[in-house]
Homo-oligomer: A and B are copies of this chain.
Amino acid sequence: MPDISQVLSDTFLRTNALDPRESGSKTYSISQLAKEFDITTRAIRFYESEGLLSPEREGRNRLYSQRDHTRLKLILRGKRLGFSLDEIGELFELYDSSSTGELAQLSRVLEKIEERKQILKQQLEDIQLSLHELKEFERQCRQRLRQMRSNH
């Protein structure tokens, strides 16, 4: 039975790729991640405090695994998709539990996805309409400008 994370690799929720403590596995410091994703360290710690990340420790310091790296990427993608941090956490939980074979949870994930898809489609229409409106408004502004100039 193949790991679900394999089936779903390179899609939205690829969250349990590698063992964190594997010897050769690459790790990151907090500022490395911050630089790479162009966010602040504060934000990263905040995500942890919200339960979205749980990096290992090397003494006091946080040590981020490849899995954490992927999770962070997913967090940011989720945000772009319009999910709140709470919803992202929910999706992580649902998805993790679905890898233990909980079919119902997977359906729940699908529902969430569908919900978000509807919202995005609505936004898409709104934006396209807005662009048209703005273009028309702009056109008339420009026309008005030409009139003002020629009357001068």
Contact = CB atoms under 8 A, between A and B. Distances in A.
A110 B11 contact: no
A127 to B, nearest CB: 5
Q: How many copies does the complex hold?
A: 2
A144 B9 CA distance: 12
Given A106-B145, A124-B124, A113 B137 contact: yes
A128 B134 contact: no
A140 to B, nearest CB: 5
A148 B7 contact: no
Contacts of A21: none
A28 B103 CA distance: 54
A18 interface: no
Contacts of A117: 131, 134-135, 138
A9 to B, nearest CB: 9
A133 interface: yes
Contact of A141 (B106, B116, B126, B145): B106
A59 to B, nearest CB: 38
A142 B114 CA distance: 12
Interface in A88-110: 101, 103, 106-107, 109-110
A148 B101 contact: yes
28 contacts: A4-B144, A7-B140, A7-B143, A8-B144, A11-B133, A11-B136, A11-B137, A12-B134, A12-B137, A13-B137, A77-B133, A80-B126, A81-B130, A101-B148, A103-B148, A109-B141, A110-B138, A110-B142, A113-B138, A114-B138, A117-B134, A120-B131, A120-B134, A121-B131, A124-B124, A124-B127, A124-B128, A127-B127
